[in-house]
Amino acid sequence: MRDAGIMAEFLGKWFGFARVCLRARAGRVCLRARAGIAGGIAGMSVALGLLAAAPAGAAELQPLDPQPGSAELEAGLSVKYYFSFFREIDDLEWYMGKHEGQVGEALPALNYRTAARSALTSGKTDGVGAEIEGLIHLAKLGTYAFSVRSNDGFVLDIDGKRILEDVDVHGDRYTKVKKLAIAQPGWYRLSVLYFERKGTSTLELYWRPPGDEDADMAIVPDAAFAHLKAN
């Protein structure tokens, strides 16, 4: 990874980048180039090369061990809110390191798309960041397909591994579909960081469970989410 960073820096200077930033997150390489058109094209070329050299996938996902009983669970996902006008997920993560979050009403599911109403359960329409924690129940063996529609940015991890992301300010759009092979059914840890800067807000998680390969992607139902009760 260090060698890849050195190579990216060298190529950035060679092609006249203004700045090249190389980040490694959850086994994935991300390259961000801020420059003119020539720098952008060169940056994309370097990124594609680095991604091709990166591992093909994350380590096998592991369910929570031991698995919680129904008496240990509450419905939905827990959430803490942070109020500022973020431009990307990095801004939210930095802010979270400096400020205490405000505990909000649990989210029944990741199924929110609003115009002039509250972003998630925050009670505010703009300048909202959310730290969402809980569990997702993957009840079948086999390959799940996932996608997220968001507005603005988010990152989503399962079992501590980055699954999907779209990290900056944008209007409603879907991620590419990510397929996950599940070898053990059960409850898996789920975490999401999300922010809404201004205007409308959207955070929707879609899936297609194993055995439904010909079906359309659908919103993950409420029953698939839970969080551990506080001690």
Q: How confident is the model at residue 53 (pLDDT cuts 50, 70, 90)?
A: very low
Taking residues 34-59, what's their average pLDDT?
A: 38
The span from the CA of 16 to the CA of 13, in Å, is 5
The SS3 of residue 58 is: coil
Both tokens assigned to 38: 């020539």
Largest CA distance in the chain: 60
Task: Quickly state the pLDDT bin for 12 (edges 50, 70, 90).
Answer: very low
Q: Among 187, 169, 174, which residue's Cα sits nearest to residue 217? A: 174
pLDDT tens digits for 94-123? Answer: 999 999 999 999 999 999 998 768 999 999
What does the pLDDT look like over 154-199, one tens digit per residue? 999 999 999 999 999 999 999 999 999 999 999 999 999 999 999 9
pTM, two decimals, is 0.76
How far apart are the C-alpha atoms of 134 and 125, rounded to whole Å?
24
Task: Give the fold, CATH level 3, of 70-228.
Answer: Jelly Rolls (2.60.120)
Each residue of 37-48: pLDDT tens digit? Answer: 344 444 333 333
pLDDT of residue 32: 37
Q: Give CA–CA dist 150/136, Å, rounded.
A: 19
DSSP code string of 91-152: HHHHHHTTSPPEE-PPBSSSEEEESSS-STTSS-SSSEEEEEEEEEEE-SSEEEEEEEEEES
Task: State both tokens at 225.
Answer: 């989410």
Percent of the chain with pLDDT over 70: 74
Residues in the chain: 231
Domain ranges of the chain: 2-53, 70-228
